[in-house]
Amino acid sequence: MKTYLLPKDGSFYKANLHMHTMISDGSMTPEETKEEYKKRGYSVVAFTDHEALVPHPELTDEDFVAITSYEIATNFGPTEGGFPFEQTYHMNLYAKDPAKDLSPVFTMSRLWPPHAEKYLSEEAKAVEWPREYGAESLNALIARAKEDGFLVCYNHPNWSLQDYRDYKDLKGLWGVECYNTGCVRAGYPDTMQPIDDLLHLGERVFPVAADDAHAGKETLHDCFGGYVMIKAEALEYGKIMDALEKGDFYASSGPAIEELYLEDGVLHVKTSPAAKIEVITERRVRWCNRGDGLTEAAFDLSDYLVKSGEVGEKRLPSYFRVNVYDGAGEEAHTRAFFREDWE
C-alpha cells in the first residue's frame, strides 16, 4: 500500500510567502506585485508588509490568492530608524481568515514606517501588545496569534544575527525560513540547521523558502528566488491555508518534487532533473543518490522505520526528510515526517 507524504490528489501552486509593498518599505503596489508574480507562474503571494495587517481581497480571483499577513520585529536594542544591524526576531503572521484586519498582537507604538498608519482602522490603532526581546515574550505572542487564527513563521535567523541561544526555547512556530532570496543575494544565506535543531527539541516546524522582496519593477533584484509549492485541492483561500497548516508543501529555490510516497518500507521520490537526492534522519544523512539528471530515487527505509519506533528512552524524536539539489546548486526541502505520517 502506498502512503503519500505529499498528497496524491490536488494540484501544485507556486507561492511566495514574504513580500513588501509600498504599504511599508517595498517599491511596488500590491497590484504591481500580483502582476509581476503571476507573469512568472505564481498563484499565491502573502503580502507581509511590516507591522501593519492589511487584507487585499480585491486581488484574489480564480487564478490568484492573496494571503492576508504581516511581519513583526522585536529588536534587542533601539528601534528608531527602522531595523538596526543587531539581533532581532522577525516573524510573519499568516491569517487563516482572508478578511482579518485586526491582530491581537499588534503594537501601535512599533508601527514602521509611519505612513502605514493610513491603512489601519481606529480599532487596530488602539492595540498595544507588549514586546520584549526573548523567548518568554515571543512565546506569549506566538500562542496568542495562533489562538486568533494565524500561522507564525520565524524569518531569516542568519540575517537577524541569531543563533541557537535565540531560537532554542521558541514554542509553537509553524515554520522557519530556510531560504530568503533577499538575504541570499545580500550574502546572508540561511540553512536547515535551525529547523533540525527545533525538530530535535520536539517542535514540529516546516521549512519555508521565500523572497522577502522589496524591489521595484525596474530591478526585481530580490524577487523570484525562494518559494513553496503547495499541494492543495483547489486554488481557494481556505484550501491553500489548510494545506499550509498541514505541511502539504515543500520549499525550493529551483528543483521540483513531483511525487513522494512510501510503499512497503521503500521511499519513492520523483523530481525534476537533479544532481543529488538525499534522505536525512534525525541524526544524519542516511541515504543519498547522486547522478547527472536524476529524476527519481528509491530508498529502502524499512529497517529505519521499524527501529525508529522501538520502545526505549530516546534523546531525539525520530523523523526523516528529503533534500533535492540540482546541477546549479539550487535546493528543495520537504518537511520532516514522523511515525504518525507513515503509519
275 φ, ψ to 5°? Answer: -100, -25
Q: Which of 82-86, 127-131, 296-300, 319-323 has the lowest mean pLDDT?
A: 82-86
Q: What nine digits make up the cell of 10?
A: 490536488
Q: Which of 7-11, 111-115, 169-173, 270-274 has the lowest mean pLDDT?
A: 111-115
Is residue 13 a contact partner of residue 43, using CB atoms and an 8 Å limit?
A: yes
Domains 10-252 and 257-342 share a fold: no
Residue 81 has pLDDT above 60, yes or no: no
Per-residue confidence (pLDDT) for residue 86, from 0 to 100:
83
Per-residue confidence (pLDDT) for residue 159, from 0 to 100:
95
| 201-206: average pLDDT | 97
Enumerate the β-bridge partners of residue 154: 91, 176
| 145-165: average pLDDT | 97
Q: Identify the band that residue 77 occupies on the pLDDT scale cut at 50, 70 and 90.
A: confident
Q: What nine digits make up the cell of 245?
A: 497548516
Residue 138: CA count within 13 A, CB half-sphere? 25
Report the topology of domain 10-252.
TIM Barrel (3.20.20)
Per-residue confidence (pLDDT) for residue 315, from 0 to 100:
79
Residue 244 has pLDDT above 90, yes or no: yes
Is residue 192 a contact partner of residue 334, using CB atoms and an 8 Å limit?
A: no
What does the domain layout of the chain look like in residue ranges?
Answer: 10-252, 257-342
Q: Identify the band that residue 283 occupies on the pLDDT scale cut at 50, 70 and 90.
A: confident
Q: What nine digits make up the cell of 223?
A: 524577487
Residue 44 has pLDDT above 60, yes or no: yes
Per-residue confidence (pLDDT) for residue 51, from 0 to 100:
96
Per-residue confidence (pLDDT) for residue 312, from 0 to 100:
59
Tell me how far apart the alpha carbons of residues 271 and 268 are, in angstroms, rounded to a whole number: 10
Distances (CA, A) of 12 to 47, 290, 334: 20, 26, 14
Residue 84 has pLDDT above 60, yes or no: no
Q: Which of 20-24, 247-251, 311-315 has the lowest mean pLDDT?
A: 311-315
| Mean per-residue pLDDT over the chain, rounded | 95
Is residue 69 a contact partner of residue 33, using CB atoms and an 8 Å limit?
A: no
Percent of the chain's residues with pLDDT above 70: 96
Residue 82 has pLDDT above 60, yes or no: no
Percent of the chain's residues with pLDDT above 90: 91
Selected from 3.40.30, 2.60.40, 1.10.150, 2.30.29, the CATH number assigned to the domain covering 257-342 reads 2.60.40
| 225-229: average pLDDT | 99
Dihedral, CA of residue 323, residue 317, residue 144 and residue 33, to nearest 10:
0
Q: Which of 86-90, 122-126, 272-276 has the lowest mean pLDDT?
A: 86-90
Per-residue confidence (pLDDT) for residue 245, from 0 to 100:
98
